[in-house]
Amino acid sequence: MKGYDFPGPALELGALVKDDGTADPSSPIRIPLAMMNRHGLVAGATGTGKTKTLQLMAEQLSAQGVPVFLADVKGDLSGMASPGVPSDRTAQRAAEVGQSWAGRACPVEFFSLGGMGEGIPLRATMTAFGPTLLSKVLGLNETQESSLGLVFYFADKHGMPLLDLKDLVAVITYLTETPEVLKGIGGLSSATAGVILRAVVNFQAQGADAFFGEPEFDARDLLRQGPDGRGVVSILELPAVQDRPRLFSTFLMWLLADLFEALPEVGDPDKPKLVFFFDEAHLLFSDASKAFLESITQTVRLIRSKGVGVFLVTQTPKDVPADVLAQLGARVQHALRAFTPQDAKALKATVSTFPESPYDLQRLLTELGIGEAVVTVLSETGAPTPVAWTRLCAPQSLMAPSDPAVVGGVVAASPLLAKYGTAIDRESAYEMLSARLAAPASTDTYGAPPREPEPRRHEEKSVLEGVLGSSAFKSLTRSAASALGREITRSIFGTARRRR
């Protein structure tokens, strides 16, 4: 098809579908490799083939030396570690689109959030995660988010490492009981602190302690190639946290923010340094504050110049805010359903986002078969290509979960296992407080007069309660730690900028 005959390297999506419903192998539909850092959208109703489209694009990127990150929400992308199995259906699709198909595995790395699963554990410290992303996870409103930001500011300023949730609980409780330490910069009301603490406790009850701590993952470890030069496909397995969608979607945004801070500017490279597929993207935007949406828009806009492409995967374009949608250059739209008035309205809105075309898109989008999509991308000159009804190629890796023994073998052989496999619990805010219980404090290092400790009412008081009730709690910050804390700066999302 005219408009898709790019001279440079490209991803082969499939073949143009003619008016009679048959595919034309002589009219391939492609995406220029150099345009993959211009971001994109893969959308469509459940069961229309979005996951297989991700798999197809990921294995072709890998083959051209580009590392890929995929979030495996349903648990079926592990098949990329195994070669595909020939079948009549695969052979038929390959013949229709002119594909030379052969089963082939990809170099794969498996990850899991906090070790909840079989992959390499991904963890972040509370300090690095920051108040903006944490507020999104906890479902806080804008007032509560600003109050949480004050907690992080206090901890940063006074060199109090917030590594896990118990550190955060200790600092919040202290600021509530000692409001004078925040005099001059606002305060933390007991009502707001109570809301935040309840949210944190509920978060802990869901097993979130596993996600926060050390060793903290360095997102640059996603930028790897195998011995044969193919890009490593990093798959974050999420079935174990499917019931916490807000957590995993926000954690993915933290990875993207960490990449943004870590990578240098590269302008427009011949091929991306990494392509990041953000599945279930609607979860990221639902109930998001205005500041959070502005941060996402800014990150997506700017990370292109770092050589990173971002593909959002969701059901309809209306799930993505207009300012973010405007940053996306490629579009692979699978079938939509229109069973309700709301569906019909969403369909009409989707059609309005496409360039002009000879198709009756409102009809076509409801009639697309599985493994078919309406495609428009950016050419190598940056101009939008014509809208094309496309029959997609079949992935060459296994289109089903890999055998557990294969996954286990990949994880056991990973060079990252020694680096991230074992959790570390070093001294942090909570431990520092516990260690100073017996230390005398004649003055308050935060500038407030010391208060007499209240007499113990219960012999079985917990260590944390003892810490929070003692005057030693108020004198834990050392001058050296304070100096270190003041060096912490925060990025677009309020995540900590680590020294690389």
* Residue 225 near residue 232 (C-beta atoms within 8 A): yes
Q: Rounded to 5 degrees, what are φ and ψ at 114?
A: 60, 20
- Give residue-wise pLDDT tens across range 279-288: 888 877 877 7
- Best CA proximity match to 262, nearest among 19, 24, 496: 496
Strands 274-278 and 10-17: unpaired
- Rounded CA separation 235/223 (Å): 13
CA angle 271, 411, 277 (to 5 degrees): 35
Q: How far is CA 272 from the centre of its chain?
A: 18
SS3 of residue 128 by DSSP: helix
Q: Which residue matches tokens 């009639």?
A: 367
pLDDT of residue 433: 58
274 Cβ partners below 8 Å, 6+ apart? 66, 67, 68, 69, 222, 223, 259, 307, 308, 309
- Rounded CA separation 194/171 (Å): 13
Six-digit token pair at 49? 């083939």
| 264 CB burial (10 A radius; 0-12, 13-18, 19+) | exposed
- Rounded CA separation 369/165 (Å): 47
Instruction: Indicate the helix (H) or strand (E) that contains 237.
Output: strand 233-237
Six-digit token pair at 101? 């198909």
Give me the DSSP letters along 328-373.
Answer: --EEEE------SHHHHHHHHHHHHTSPP-SS-HHHHHHHPPTTEE
- Best CA proximity match to 406, nearest among 113, 117, 110, 60: 110
Six-digit token pair at 427? 């001294």
* Residue 80 near residue 277 (C-beta atoms within 8 A): no
Low-confidence ranges of the chain (pLDDT < 50): 437-438, 442-443, 446-461, 463-464, 467-468, 470-487, 499-500
- Give residue-wise pLDDT tens across range 458-475: 444 454 455 445 444 444
Dihedral angle over CA of 93, 66, 374, 390, nearest 10: -30
- Rounded CA separation 352/437 (Å): 65
Q: Rounded to 5 degrees, what are φ and ψ at 109?
A: -125, 130
Look up residue 307 and give its DSSP letter: T
Strands 120-122 and 108-113: parallel
Q: Rounded to 5 degrees, what are φ and ψ at 186?
A: 105, -175
Strands 233-237 and 68-72: parallel
- Best CA proximity match to 490, nearest among 175, 293, 261, 223: 261
pLDDT of residue 14: 97
Look up residue 457 and give its DSSP letter: S
- Best CA proximity match to 54, nearest among 307, 397, 290, 286: 397
pLDDT of residue 483: 34
Domains of the chain: 10-123+213-420 (3.40.50.300), 126-212+427-485 (no CATH)
Spell out the long-range contacts of 486-489 with Cβ–Cβ below 8 A and sequence spacing 24 or more. 486/156, 486/157, 486/159, 488/127, 488/156
Amino acid in the structure at residue 61: L
Strands 308-314 and 40-43: parallel
Q: How far apart are the first and last CA of the chain?
A: 47
